[in-house]
Structures are given as structure tokens and as C-alpha cells.
């Protein structure tokens, strides 16, 4: 059969059309938004249809929020790092063993806030290209809000709330005890180099019937929120001591002026009178300084105890109760005037002066008794004090001198809180008088051995009474009980239910 030039041309055209058609492909991926938690790894699916090899093609991954640079490029059987966005270096890769069947998915590790956006998967052969766009959302739940006291501000008390590590950007709300939002200063927002948000806001609060305020940080898009409640003692709102100090200072100034005038008038006639007046003025000044120092010390104690509540007790109160231990009283350590119940859970003062064996560890000069077990770890117990007019509770370090009559302070191996003559006192190195809004009916004692902290709580309303901090424990700590001698009501060791 004779082949003409026209026949040859037709064959060539058919071959070209077939070749061009074989190069055509589609780039496919997921149509839904991909959500990922910050810190996790993620795979952005992308593949060719039909499932032809992409080994000889160029694979580009782009973040459309960046104009010039790329997330990742594969070309000529190798990775091209030029023009790669710095934040993606070392965190992106393809599944090279899957390229032969058209899988061009991208793996992105350790996702951070700046990774959120629209990603384009662009595949190019020598004669064809196609692309697909994927939406990625990043979510991160930040830290529990931290509330700090800034002191008196414009007739109220200044508070600051801070939280960090959020994505997307959260909002911050201040709430009163009824959950009603009240206005605060402008929200301050900062974003770190990984794209996570840090927020903080100042507020000035006035004294209320509860003095309980809540800082809430929330992100509606990811349906997450964190909050911290703070209780301010009424003493922090009381500015009277400072006003009185100002008045006394003014009076002192007036007295000083008058005294100087009298001194100048009398200096030539009566030097002894001048010396006496000078001493009186110095004494008045010293008395005023002592009062101011006392007010300042009380304010520092209140502030330090409130800071301790914010950072240690409020975040996870139920966890502390899960460290409860089963205690009974140690009869061998009991003072001779104490009467114990048969189950070893109750003790009261009986004035019996019982004849007991002279154990070396028995209390002789105070109506004390120890728990039967010592601990060198976290532990917690609760004691009912309802109806009592006098008691002392806490922990002691063994060995201790049971015959001493000195005050039970940490230096002597005691960490205790006392009720006596209607006044609550923490026996720190210097006595701390405690102002409690509610009279405790049940007292909780918690020891964090490693942190060197001993804390006391009103179990009924979950409020903080006092905490000893900064101690260094090296020996076992034993629960300590003293029912006092002013009533016959028993101290009762109560069972603890962590789900109360």
C-alpha cells in the first residue's frame, strides 16, 4: 500500500494529541477545613487524578498569606530550600515513597499559630499544571489566668489579669460574684513569634458584700474558656490606717514647728526644757513610725497570703483533698489531762490528771497530742472544731522538745494556727493575727513537703486561712492537736471525701 505525505502528517498529529492528552491530570484534596491543635503534627492531603507518577514533576506548597516565599518545593528529584519561609524549615516533608503513585501530601510538624491560613498544592509537569487550595485552622488553649493585686487605685483596689498561649485571639472578661460582666480598661494584646496570643487587662474594683471577682479568658471559635476567682479580704479596702497616718503626720509637723519655735525662744533661758521637748518629739515620731510599720507589715501579710491562694490553692482545690490520709491519735504522746475516744478519732480536755506511763514522747507542759503516723510527702486532713472556744492545729517535726513552754513557732519545729480568747493567730516567727470573715466549723490542713508549705483552710466555704511558706523539711511531719482547756468539746478527725 502506498503511503502519502498526508497520511504521515495525520499519524504525527494523532501521536501529538495522544501525548498531550496523557499529560493532563487533576490535583485533588479535601474540601472541608482542617482543624489542628497547636503542637501536633498535621498532614495536608493532595494527590493526582489519575494516579500517575509525580517523581519527574515540580511540587510546590504555598501559604497564600505569604506573597513571594514558599512552604516547600520538590523539583528535579530533590528539595529546593531557596525562597523557603524560615518558620517552615525543618518542619515540612513529602512522602517520597508515595510520589510514584501521585501522592503529593505535605506533612507539617509541631504546628504553631502562624501556620493558620490557606495552602495551595501546585503540581507542574512539562506540559500541564493544576492546583488545589486547603484551609487550615489552628487552635490553642492558653494558660489559666493569673490575677495580681496592684494596690489602691482611684477609690478602689487595682487588679491585673494575664493569660498567654492562645490561638485564635481570645477575649478577657471581668465578672462579679453574680457572674455579671463589669467594665475594665482597654485589653492589651501581644502576639509572639510563633503566633500565639497573650492578653492582659487592668480593672479597679469596689468593695462588695462578697469581695469575690472572676477573670475569664475565652475563645468562642474553639469553644474554650479558663477562669480564676479571687477573694479580697475587706482589710485591703480599708484606707483608714493610711488616712490616720496622714493626719498624725500633719499633727506631728505642726507639733514640730511649735516645738522649734518654743526651743528658739527658750534656748537661752532653759536648755533642759529644750532637751526634754526634743526627746518628746523624737518619741512621738518613733511611735508614729512604729504604727506605720505595723500597718505596712499587716498589708504585706494579707497580700502575700492572697498571692499564695491565687497561685497554689484556687487552681485545683479538689486535687489537694485527694491527698487525704487516714489518721488516728497517738495515746503515747497525749498530755495526762487529755481524754481520747476508743476509735482514736476524738480528743478533749478533761482535767483528770490521769496517772499514765511516763513515755519520753508524752507532752507534759502543753495539752498536746500527735497523730499516729508521720509523713515526708504531700498529705491532707480535716478536723471538726464546731462549738469549741479554744484549739491549736497544725504539724510538728520530730524529734521535738515536749517539755518546752515557749511559743510553738517554725524555728522550734511547729507550724500551727490557734483560736484563743476569740482571736485567730498563726504562730509564725512573729505572731500573725488573722481576720476571718467566717468562723470555721471544720479546718483542713494541707502539707506540700517538697515545696515547704503548710496551709490551713475553712472547709465549709473553701476559703484560705493562712499558709506557712519557704520552709525546708528534712524529717517526718506529724499532725498536731491541742483541744485547749476552756471547754469540754472534742476535736474530731473527720473522713475526707474528695468529691464533696
Could you report the per-residue pLDDT of 300-343, keeping only the tens digit for each?
A: 555 555 545 544 444 356 778 889 999 999 998 888 889 999 99
CA atoms within 13 A on the CB side of 425: 17
Percent of the chain with pLDDT over 90: 55
- Among 117-131, 317-331, 349-363, 386-400, whose mean pLDDT is lowest? 349-363
Contact 438, 457 (CB under 8 A): no
Structural contact between residues 449 and 395, judged by C-beta atoms closer than 8 angstroms: no
Does 272 or 52 have the greater pLDDT score? Answer: 52
Give the pLDDT band of residue 14 (cuts 50, 70, 90): very low
Distance, in Å, from the CA atom of 202 to the CA atom of 160, rounded to the nearest integer, reads: 5
Residue 361 binned pLDDT confidence (cut-offs 50, 70, 90): confident
Least confident segment among 144-148, 222-226, 255-259, 393-397: 255-259
Tell me: the pLDDT tens digits for 202-229?
999 988 999 999 999 999 998 999 999 9
pLDDT at 6: 55
Beta bridge partners of 371: 329
Read off the pTM: 0.47
**Of 159, 309, 155, nearest in space to 238 by CA:** 155
Which residues are CB-neighbours of 345 under 8 A, at least 6 positions away? 327, 328, 329, 492, 493
Q: What is the DSSP string of 320-336?
A: HHTTB----B-GGG--T
In this prediction, residue 350 carries a pLDDT of 84
Cell of 496: 475526707
pLDDT mean across residues, the chain: 84
Q: Which residues are 92's β-sheet partners?
A: 108
Cβ 30 vs Cβ 99: under 8 Å: no
pLDDT digit string (tens) for 233-278?
Answer: 887 877 655 454 554 465 566 666 666 766 666 665 556 665 677 7
The answer, yes or no, to whether residue 3 has pLDDT greater than 90, is: no
Residue 352 has pLDDT above 80, yes or no: no
Burial class of residue 59, CB neighbours in 10 A (0-12, 13-18, 19+): buried
pLDDT of residue 258: 66
| Other CB atoms within 10 A of residue 227 CB | 15
How many angstroms separate the CA atoms of 45 and 33, rounded?
A: 12
User: Residue 11: pLDDT above 70?
Assistant: no
| E strand map for 379-474 | 379-384, 391-397, 414-420, 423-426, 432-434, 442-448, 453-458, 463-468
Amino acid at each position: 500500500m502506498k503511503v502519502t505525505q498526508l497520511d504521515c502528517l495525520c499519524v504525527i498529529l494523532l501521536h501529538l494529541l495522544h501525548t498531550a492528552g496523557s499529560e493532563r491530570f487533576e490535583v485533588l484534596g479535601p474540601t472541608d477545613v482542617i482543624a489542628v491543635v497547636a503542637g501536633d503534627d498535621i498532614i495536608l492531603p493532595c494527590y493526582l487524578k489519575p494516579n500517575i507518577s509525580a517523581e519527574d514533576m515540580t511540587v510546590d506548597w504555598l501559604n497564600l498569606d505569604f506573597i513571594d516565599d514558599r512552604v516547600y518545593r520538590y523539583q528535579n528529584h530533590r528539595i529546593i530550600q531557596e525562597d523557603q519561609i524560615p518558620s517552615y524549615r525543618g518542619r515540612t516533608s513529602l512522602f517520597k515513597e508515595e510520589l510514584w503513585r501521585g501522592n503529593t501530601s505535605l506533612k507539617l510538624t509541631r504546628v504553631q499559630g502562624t501556620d493558620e491560613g490557606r495552602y495551595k498544592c501546585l503540581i507542574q509537569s512539562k506540559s500541564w499544571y493544576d492546583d488545589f487550595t486547603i484551609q487550615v485552622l489552628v487552635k490553642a488553649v492558653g494558660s489559666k489566668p493569673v490575677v495580681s493585686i496592684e494596690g489602691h487605685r482611684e477609690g478602689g483596689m487595682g487588679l491585673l489579669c494575664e493569660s498567654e498561649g492562645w490561638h485564635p485571639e481570645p477575649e478577657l472578661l471581668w465578672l462579679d460574684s453574680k457572674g455579671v460582666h463589669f467594665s475594665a480598661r482597654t485589653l492589651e494584646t501581644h502576639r509572639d513569634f510563633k503566633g500565639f496570643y497573650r492578653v492582659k487587662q487592668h480593672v479597679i474594683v469596689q468593695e462588695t458584700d462578697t469581695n469575690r471577682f472572676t477573670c475569664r479568658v475565652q475563645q468562642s471559635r474553639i469553644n474554650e474558656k479558663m477562669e480564676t476567682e479571687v477573694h479580697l479580704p475587706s482589710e485591703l479596702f480599708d484606707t483608714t490606717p493610711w488616712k490616720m497616718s496622714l493626719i498624725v503626720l500633719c499633727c506631728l509637723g505642726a507639733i514640730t514647728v511649735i516645738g522649734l519655735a518654743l526651743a528658739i525662744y527658750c534656748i537661752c533661758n532653759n536648755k533642759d526644757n529644750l532637751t526634754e521637748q526634743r526627746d518628746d518629739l523624737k518619741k512621738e515620731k518613733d511611735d508614729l513610725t512604729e504604727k506605720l510599720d505595723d500597718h505596712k507589715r499587716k498589708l504585706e501579710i494579707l497580700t502575700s497570703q492572697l498571692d499564695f491562694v491565687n497561685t497554689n490553692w484556687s487552681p485545683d482545690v479538689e486535687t489537694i483533698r485527694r491527698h487525704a490520709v487516714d489518721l488516728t491519735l497517738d495515746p503515747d504522746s497525749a498530755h495526762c489531762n487529755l481524754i481520747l475516744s476508743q476509735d482514736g478519732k476524738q480528743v478533749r480536755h478533761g482535767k483528770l490528771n490521769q496517772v499514765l506511763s511516763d513515755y519520753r514522747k508524752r507532752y507534759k507542759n502543753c495539752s498536746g497530742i500527735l497523730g499516729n503516723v508521720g509523713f515526708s510527702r504531700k498529705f491532707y486532713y480535716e478536723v471538726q472544731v464546731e462549738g469549741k472556744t479554744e484549739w491549736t492545729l497544725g504539724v510538728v517535726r520530730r524529734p521535738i522538745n515536749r517539755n518546752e513552754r515557749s511559743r510553738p513557732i517554725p524555728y522550734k519545729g511547729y507550724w500551727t494556727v490557734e483560736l484563743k480568747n476569740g482571736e485567730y493567730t498563726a504562730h509564725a516567727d512573729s505572731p500573725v493575727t488573722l481576720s476571718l470573715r467566717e468562723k470555721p466549723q471544720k479546718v483542713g490542713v494541707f502539707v506540700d513537703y517538697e515545696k515547704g508549705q503548710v496551709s490551713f483552710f475553712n472547709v465549709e466555704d473553701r476559703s484560705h486561712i493562712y499558709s506557712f511558706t519557704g520552709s525546708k523539711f528534712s524529717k517526718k511531719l506529724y499532725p498536731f492537736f491541742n483541744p485547749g482547756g476552756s471547754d469540754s468539746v472534742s476535736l474530731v478527725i473527720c473522713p475526707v471525701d474528695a468529691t464533696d
